[in-house]
Amino acid sequence: MTKVLMVASEAAPFAKTGGLADVLGSLPAALRSLGDEVAVLIPRYRAVKLEGARRVYDVLPVWLGSRRFEAQLLLQEGDVPVYFVECPELFDRDGLYGTPEGDFPDNAVRFAAFSRAALSVMRFVFRPQVVHCHDWQAAMVPVFMRTFFFRDPTFTAIRCLFTIHNLGYQGLFPEEALTDAGLDTDLFRPDRLEFFGRVNFLKGGLVYSDFLSTVSKGYAREIQTPEYGFGLDGALRERSHALCGILNGVDYSQWSPESDPFIAARYSAGDLAGKRLCKQDLLREFGLPAEHVERPLIGIVSRFTEQKGFDLIADVSEQLADEDMYVAALGSGDAAYEDLFRRLAAAHPDTIAVRFGYDNALAHKIEAGSDMFLMPSKYEPCGLNQIYSLRYGTVPIVRATGGLDDTIDESTGFKFSDYSGPALLAAVRDALRAFRDREGWTAMMLRGMARDYSWRKSAAEYSALYKRLSAEPGPVTPA
């Protein structure tokens, strides 16, 4: 049994923009059932709805240099205790990281203060054996622990695991961010936090944590190459002996067609009848003609960013639009990709439809009502939607990268390797051809539905890693 504090910027159901929140919302409970004592710490954003939370610390000390922030600590008890850093000056705003116009200008201070607050939580409230930090927003935790507080016995006794969910977001700021955070300017060196003339928070996490992980074995290999390393592949190669990949699990209590409260009809591998009703419901929901229910329907649920491969869709959009199929897309993000879908839907109103925004219920309806799910990502650390799709009998079409490559094979979906429009088009056409063979298609759906990507195995891997780390007196070497 290890006592673990998870520090992250999102956790479902409280605050979510992507898969990070799904992981923080489900891994801790899986660890608890293995016997670990886990608590979660996130900021209290304006959007966080709390019922029955109590204030456990009225004046949580949060100093960045000589600047002091008025912070409090709230606790929502439950299966897993979730702590919230309440600091209205920093977090009581619409949006987690910014507005549609761009990132908040003070994100360096916001997440340095959040990380600094995590140290106070560890000192005064929940003292773990391992602090498990996620992504750049929590990366200053190990930096504070191992620089500013490097002689402090509270922190020398705590091991730090840092998980990279997405190397594409690093927390890059001007040099002053270090002084603003109350840190020494001698951290501004290429072997520390400096990165092409800027301060890189994520790099701090990579340099100062005892151990690193990422969310699939494939991505753990890829990030050590220039193609996928976002400039940090060298730093990662240097720590390759302290880096591993642990595939995300999913929470089937939230994502299963047998019990999903958001979908029009429940179904299962034993009785697929309800899936057709879900498809009709989805077509209606998107204003697509529901009488052609036999026509294949491709679903998309995504952040609209470069990562997700929409350039490929743009590249072959006319050929895709000419295929005899429906497309139903849900997402929001970059204006250029929103425009792409807006144009396509306007030009092909009977077959292509799009909904902008964040809508969890509709995401579930798309998983259930689609025949295929498209994820042509440029890179994908793990990816959860393709795993949800498998369980819903919705056959994934994915680019063979990172977690997509690790979770989908030719018996459960369609993959392409080249990051190119024609390669994407060929994979879609393969899927459409296979769809005509009803028996073969159903067999493929059933193979996907039978796959088990619950947390059982992956949580055990984390648990073993915590155990190993907490047994080590100092920086850890590989097993």
| Residues near ligand GLC (CB under 6 A) | 18-20, 23, 165-166, 215, 248, 380-384, 403
The span of 17-25, 271-279, 280-288, 406-414 binding ligand ADP (CB under 6 A) equals 17-25
**CA 315 and chain centroid, separation:** 26
At residue 245's C-alpha, the angle toward residues 478 and 428, to 5°, is: 155
In the complex, the smallest distance separating the C-beta of residue 112 from ligand GLC, rounded to whole angstroms, is 21
In the complex, the smallest distance separating the C-beta of residue 414 from ligand ADP, rounded to whole angstroms, is 17
The span of 19-27, 73-81, 111-119, 199-207 binding ligand ADP (CB under 6 A) equals 19-27
Closer to ligand ADP by Cβ: residue 178 or 264: 264
- DSSP letters for 349-414: TTTEEEEES--HHHHHHHHHH-SEEEE--S--SS-SHHHHHHHTT-EEEEESSHHHHHH--TTT-E
Closer to ligand GLC by Cβ: residue 20 or 425: 20
Q: How far apart are CA 345 and CA 476, in angstroms?
A: 53
- x/- letters, 249..288, toward ligand ADP (CB under 6 A): ----------------------------------------
Task: Verify binding: residue 301, ligand ADP, rule CB under 6 A.
Answer: yes
Residues 6+ apart with CB under 8 A from 133: 6, 7, 8, 115, 118, 139, 141, 142, 160, 161, 162, 163, 205, 209
| Both tokens assigned to 387 | 């795993």
Which one among 359, 447, 451, 460 touches ligand ADP, defined by CB under 6 A?
359
In the complex, the smallest distance separating the C-beta of residue 463 from ligand ADP, rounded to whole angstroms, is 22
The span of 13-21, 42-50, 83-91, 108-116 binding ligand ADP (CB under 6 A) equals 13-21
3-state secondary structure of 452: coil
Closer to ligand GLC by Cβ: residue 232 or 283: 232
| Separation of first and last alpha carbons in the chain | 19
Residues in the chain: 479
Q: How far apart are CA 379 and CA 183, in angstroms?
A: 33
Closer to ligand ADP by Cβ: residue 97 or 358: 358
215 binds, among ligand GLC, ligand ADP, none (CB under 5 to 8 A by kind): ligand GLC
In the complex, the smallest distance separating the C-beta of residue 378 from ligand GLC, rounded to whole angstroms, is 11
Of 228, 257, 262, the C-alpha closest to 245 is: 228
Q: How far apart are CA 77 and CA 54, in angstroms?
A: 8
Report 31-70 residues binding ligand ADP (CB under 6 A). Answer: none
Binding site for ligand ADP (CB under 6 A): 18-20, 22, 301-303, 330-332, 358-360, 363, 382-385
